[in-house]
């Protein structure tokens, strides 16, 4: 069959191949990017869905507006306001089918063949693939423990004049890194200085373990005049409530939002009204703060257990920054004392020892660092985390 040329730019993900091996009995998996299903607030979601059907069956089951179900847009506006982005009116966001769709709509509206796009190295794999599908020529901006290095970012923006810069400033996937407040300001200043669109992807910002992270770029943007007009922000209920609901949202300047809405109309008409009405009822019932407190506490304990176990079992063979939120430890093999220093090699040996993780190389759009690994602490309990890291210790030796 003659497929569209755009498919030539994209391969199926290396990670998907790895997932085929996870069915092996007894494997402890640190590979997934999922939240833990055991933490879903099933009672709260059941009640919310029942109220949605009882109170507004027409709204919940009928076709709806492409922009989203109005009561949900209002709830999301309030949800963001509670996190510091106080001036995002319901009309300044559209509801998307997961934040993944927001990324796709940004690709569709902004990126054409050969357009330069700057992403972090490493970044979310599905964004790499999605933007490449639209023909993006991706440029990798280096990060450290405090997120993207803004000096380097400025140099790359000045050199490439990208269509957009895609960042995950808070607890990145896979990096777990948190962009410092100073760098957040700098990013917004760069947007204005170079008139470049910044995309802030923020599905993990609510999952912090200790102190709250610095305000999102969206929340900070009023402090940097002119930056809001150059900022798109993707939010999601996936990591805090349920990915299966497929409720995300996009905040963007009016012209971009209108174009994205038009593209969404041709794509899925609207996000499931039933899911939207359920999410709206859930938020309205005021259950989110309790749910957030619960998931933060559970993930915090697991993150600590994984960090402690890595230090104990792998010692100098690995270096990493202890995550302050999110779902991932991003680690780098040092090769100390003859230990394995290649993520792919270690991944294969780890499967034989009964533990799985994702090697870091596929998360780079260029110059992959093959010594890196992404370890999710989200789905295994503390005992399994300790056991899994002990197995990893055997595999690395």
Q: How far is residue 260's CA from residue 3's CA, in Å, rounded to a whole number? A: 25
Candidates 162, 248, 307, 360; binder of ligand PMP (CB under 6 A) is: 248
> What gap in Å lies between CA 62 and CA 53, rounded to an integer?
11
Residue closer to ligand PMP (CB basis): 236 or 324: 236
Q: Which stretch binds ligand PMP (CB under 6 A): 80-88, 95-103, 177-185, 192-200?
A: 95-103
Buried b (16+ CB within 10 A) or exposed e, 310-343: beebbeebbebbebbbbbbbbbbbeeeeebbbeb
- From residue 182 to residue 211, the character string flagging contacts with ligand PMP as x (rule: CB under 6 A) and all else as - is -------------------x-x--------
Question: What is the number of alpha carbons within 13 Å of residue 327 lying toward its C-beta?
Answer: 22
Q: Minimal distance in Å, beta carbon 50 to ligand PMP?
A: 24
33 belongs to the binding site for ligand PMP (CB under 6 A): yes
Among 44, 98, 307, 359, binds ligand PMP (CB under 6 A): 98
DSSP helix, strand, coil percent of the chain (3-state; round to 5): 50, 15, 35
Q: Identify the H or E element spanning 218.
A: helix 217-220
Of the candidate spans 43-51, 85-93, 94-102, 308-316, the one that interacts with ligand PMP by CB under 6 A turns out to be 94-102
CA distance to 72, 174, 180, per residue, from 121 (Å): 34, 10, 17
Which residue's Cβ lies closest to ligand PMP?
Answer: 98
**Shortest Å distance, C-beta 332 to ligand PMP:** 20
Q: Which is nearer to ligand PMP, 184 or 386 (CB)?
A: 184
Burial class (CB in 10 A: 0-12, 13-18, 19+), 378: buried
- List the x/- string, 123-152, binding to ligand PMP by CB under 6 A: -x----------------------------
Pick 15 or 53: Cβ nearer ligand PMP: 15
Kindly state the smallest distance separating residue 349's Cβ from ligand PMP, in Å.
Answer: 26
According to the binding rule CB under 6 A, does residue 100 interact with ligand PMP? yes
Q: How many residues bind ligand PMP (CB under 6 A)?
A: 13
> In this structure, what DSSP letter does residue 66 have?
T
- What is the Cα–Cα distance from 114 to 282, expressed in whole angstroms? 43
Binding site for ligand PMP (CB under 6 A): 33, 98-100, 124, 168, 173, 201, 203, 236, 238, 243, 248
């Amino acid at each position: 069959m003659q497929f569209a040329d755009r498919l030539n730019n994209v391969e199926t993900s290396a990670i998907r191949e790895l997932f085929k091996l996870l069915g092996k009995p007894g494997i402890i998996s640190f590979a997934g990017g999922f939240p833990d299903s055991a933490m879903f607030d099933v009672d709260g979601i059941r009640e919310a869905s029942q109220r949605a059907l009882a109170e507004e069956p027409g709204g919940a089951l009928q076709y709806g507006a492409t922009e989203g179900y109005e009561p949900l847009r209002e709830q999301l506006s309030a949800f963001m306001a509670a996190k510091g982005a106080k001036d995002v009116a319901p009309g300044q966001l559209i509801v998307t089918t997961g934040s993944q769709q927001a990324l796709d709509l940004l690709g569709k509206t902004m990126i054409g063949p050969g357009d330069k796009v700057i992403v972090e190295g490493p970044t979310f794999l599905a964004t790499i693939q999605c933007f490449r599908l639209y023909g993006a020529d991706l440029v990798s901006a280096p990060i450290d423990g405090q997120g993207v290095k803004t000096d380097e970012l400025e140099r790359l923006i000045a050199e490439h004049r990208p269509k957009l810069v895609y960042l995950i400033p808070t607890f990145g996937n896979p990096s777990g890194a948190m962009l410092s407040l100073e760098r957040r300001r700098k990013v917004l200043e760069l947007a204005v200085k170079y008139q470049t669109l910044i995309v802030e992807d923020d599905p993990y910002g609510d999952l912090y373990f200790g102190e709250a992270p610095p305000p999102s770029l969206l929340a900070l943007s009023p402090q940097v005049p002119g930056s809001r007009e150059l900022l798109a922000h993707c939010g999601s209920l996936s990591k805090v409530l349920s990915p299966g609901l497929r409720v995300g949202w996009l905040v963007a300047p009016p012209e971009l939002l209108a174009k994205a809405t038009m593209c969404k109309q041709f794509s899925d008409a609207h996000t499931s009204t039933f899911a939207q009405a359920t999410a709206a009822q859930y938020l309205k019932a005021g259950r989110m703060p309790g749910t957030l407190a619960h998931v933060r506490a559970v993930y915090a304990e697991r993150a600590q257990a994984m960090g402690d176990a890595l230090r104990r079992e792998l010692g100098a063979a690995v270096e990493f920054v202890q995550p302050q939120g999110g779902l991932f430890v991003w680690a780098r093999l040092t090769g100390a004392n003859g230990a394995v220093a290649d993520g792919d090699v270690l991944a294969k040996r780890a499967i034989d020892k009964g533990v799985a993780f994702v090697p870091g190389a596929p998360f780079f759009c260029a110059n992959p660092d093959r010594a890196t690994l992404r370890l999710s602490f989200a789905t295994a309990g503390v005992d399994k985390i300790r056991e899994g890291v002990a197995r990893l210790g055997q595999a690395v030796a």
